[in-house]
Chain A
Amino acid sequence: MTGTTVEPSAPSEPLPRTRTDWLPLLLVPALALLALPLVGSGSTWATLTVAGLAMGMMIFLMASGLTLVFGLMDIINFGHGVFISLGAYASLLVLGPLAGWAQSDSVWLNLALLLFCILAAMGVTGTVGAVFERIIVRPVYGSHLKQILVTMGGLIVAEQAIHAIWGASPIPIPLPATLRGALIIGDVVMERYRLVAVGIGLVVFVGMQLLLNRTRIGLLIRAGVENPEMVEALGYRIRRLFVSVFVAGSALAGLGGVMWAFYRQTLTAGMGMEVMVLVFIVIIIGGLGSVGGCFVGSVLVALVANYVGFIEPKLALISNILVMALVLIWRPQGLFPVARR
């Protein structure tokens, strides 16, 4: 098993360089700096930036699962919004019995309550996700048109189910006591809950990056997003990977749903569907299948929305679409295009 050495390339050939693609990452600070003179006041700018980051994290939480599901399974899941709503409603399972914790003036008890809400939401949406994958998505692999129709159908059924279980009228959910109000540092006003949202978003993002880059499962997911057939030809049953990613994606949507619900402080069955436009925008901006792209895209869209909402409120509604159009003109495949066969 020795001997033959093969010189594969002429010595003069330069080493290929790793191209770490920094440009899209620079967009975020560039945008923030650009907004500073337009906003005028530094403290207002800081407040808007924190608000934008918080909103971006929540969008990221809601979108990250969908981008992986799309990338890995080539599934267009319009039903994803259901998991957002369902996760939000699932927090009622915890908020009822533990109502006392919400009134407590202990930050830790309040945060624990939030954590339990998140766990309940992820448990419920993960379970429902597994069922949804099995009976709604699995029969329509390979056909986008059927996926759109069938997952839309699933969405309508699930929304009605939420109405049937929790009633059709909006349900208020107040924030736990110590998470209300704002933190004031100098003359910068930062809502406490937004800081919590930023923290949770960052933890999830870092966790996902570690999982995707440092574990074998993560390697398989990244490889599967690029070329599922080759993953199978290497001897891995990609079906199981699909199901776990779908379940994880649904659970993340549930987590995002809880965060979003506390932010709005109201539950409605349609709340998931309402943010789906934003969710689709950020996964397209990010590059379908790219978690990093989804993160940058979410922050970008949310920051722009906050800055524009302050500078020129009339443009706020179209700012998302504008950001998407500009990004796609620059990079038609999104910020971080995922290599495909």
Chain B
Amino acid sequence: MAEPLLHLSGVHTHIGPYHILHGVDFAAPAGQLTMLLGRNGAGKTTTLRTIMGLWQASSGTIRFDGNDITKNGTPDIACAGIGYVPESMGIFAGLTVRENIVLAARSGPVDSARLDWMLGLFPALRRFWNLPAGNLSGGQKQMLAIARAIAEPRRLLLIDEPTKGLAPVMVRSMIEAFKALKEAGETILLVEQNFHAASVLGDTVIVMDDGRVVHSGIMSELVADKNLQRRLLGLSLDTHQ
């Protein structure tokens, strides 16, 4: 197994009076796609938000590329090279597609090779380049959110349920896009409810329940073991895609 790029150990997170994460431990190896699975309310979103510093971990450590980022502010964490696509997508609806991308590219204009690559993944964005992002469909917004995360080279992408609410044809497009990102060598931590998507994309898998990691291993092994799937994921995952 490759050296972990991201490493959480014993991470606890409180939101106000609620104790949400109860000691989360896992590692995301560089150059791999790590799937983060689990029922609704398992704490997947909270985990990603804690990594981004949007919630402060109350104890435990988060190491990224060998550095302790547990106490860092969100902008510093982003600048260390982590791209984040929140569950709500966080699109700036009043800004055009172009302006959304311009903001995402902190160090200046996106170079044309990268832009071509991005827009090759998501051609719709080229068509709607100068339209307010609020006018896009749900799937197109999701594509914009991901394009924003890769507008510049990043070390790690955190992506929260990119196929949520998408029509099957869109889900297939999304899977193709992730395959291309994997080919490009991106390190990705992907939260997914769609087990089909998870099984074709994941290298490693982490399953959470009730604010804890209850399983971690190789994705193909989980795919092969129906009993383990049922025990870990119950019926909450859509296995019929």
Q: Is chain B's binding surface mostly helix, strand, loop or mixed? A: helix
B88 in the interface, Cβ–Cβ < 8 Å? Answer: yes
A16 touches B136 (CB 8 A): yes
* Residue numbers in A under 8 Å from B117 (CB-CB): 1-2
B229 in the interface, Cβ–Cβ < 8 Å? Answer: no
Answer whether A4 and B121 are a contact pair too, CB < 8 Å, given A216-B102, A219-B95.
yes
The answer for the CA separation of A253 and B99 in the assembled complex, in Å, is: 29
Interchain CB contact (< 8 A) of A230 among B79, B92, B99, B128: B92
| Count of interface residues, chain B, beta-carbon cutoff 8 Å | 49
The answer for the CA separation of A18 and B136 in the assembled complex, in Å, is: 10
B123 in the interface, Cβ–Cβ < 8 Å? Answer: yes
Q: 1/0 per position for A199-242, CB-CB distance to B under 8 A?
A: 00000000000000000100110110011011111111110000
A23 in the interface, Cβ–Cβ < 8 Å? Answer: no
User: Which of B2-10, B12-20, B175-183, B215-223 lies at the interface with chain A?
Assistant: B175-183
A312 in the interface, Cβ–Cβ < 8 Å? Answer: no
Interchain CB contact (< 8 A) of A7 among B75, B90, B173: B173
B235 in the interface, Cβ–Cβ < 8 Å? Answer: no
Q: Is chain A's binding surface mostly helix, strand, loop or mixed? A: loop
Report B134-152 residues with CB < 8 Å from chain A CB. Answer: 134-137, 139-140, 143, 148
A226 touches B94 (CB 8 A): yes
Across the two chains, which residue of chain A brings its CB closest to B177? A6
Report B80-103 residues with CB < 8 Å from chain A CB. Answer: 84, 86, 88, 90, 92-95, 99, 102-103
* Residue numbers in B under 8 Å from A234 (CB-CB): 78, 103-104, 106, 148
A3 in the interface, Cβ–Cβ < 8 Å? Answer: yes
Answer whether A227 and B92 are a contact pair too, CB < 8 Å, given A232-B75, A233-B78, A234-B103.
yes
Answer whether A229 and B54 are a contact pair too, CB < 8 Å, given A15-B128, A16-B131, A237-B75.
yes
Across the two chains, which residue of chain B brings its CB closest to A220? B103
- Nearest chain B CB to A248's CB is how many angstroms away? 20
- Nearest chain B CB to A70's CB is how many angstroms away? 16
Q: 1/0 per position for B164-201, CB-CB distance to A under 8 A?
A: 00000110011011011001100000000000000000
The answer for the CA separation of A226 and B99 in the assembled complex, in Å, is: 14
Across the two chains, which residue of chain A brings its CB closest to B80? A235
* Residue numbers in B under 8 Å from A15 (CB-CB): 127-128
The answer for the CA separation of A216 and B117 in the assembled complex, in Å, is: 24
- Nearest chain A CB to B93's CB is how many angstroms away? 4
A339 in the interface, Cβ–Cβ < 8 Å? Answer: yes
The answer for the CA separation of A235 and B78 in the assembled complex, in Å, is: 5
The answer for the CA separation of A30 and B92 in the assembled complex, in Å, is: 32
B94 touches A8 (CB 8 A): no
Q: 1/0 per position for A1-38, CB-CB distance to B under 8 A?
A: 11111111110010111110000000000000000000
A10 touches B169 (CB 8 A): yes
* Residue numbers in B under 8 Å from A338 (CB-CB): 94
**5 residue pairs bridging A and B, Cβ less than 8 Å apart:** A1-B184, A6-B174, A13-B137, A16-B135, A16-B136
**Chain B residues close to A by CB (< 8 Å):** 52, 54, 73-75, 78-79, 84, 86, 88, 90, 92-95, 99, 102-104, 106, 113, 117, 120-124, 127-128, 131-132, 134-137, 139-140, 143, 148, 169-170, 173-174, 176-177, 179-180, 183-184
**Chain A residues close to B by CB (< 8 Å):** 1-10, 13, 15-19, 216, 219-220, 222-223, 226-227, 229-238, 338-339, 341
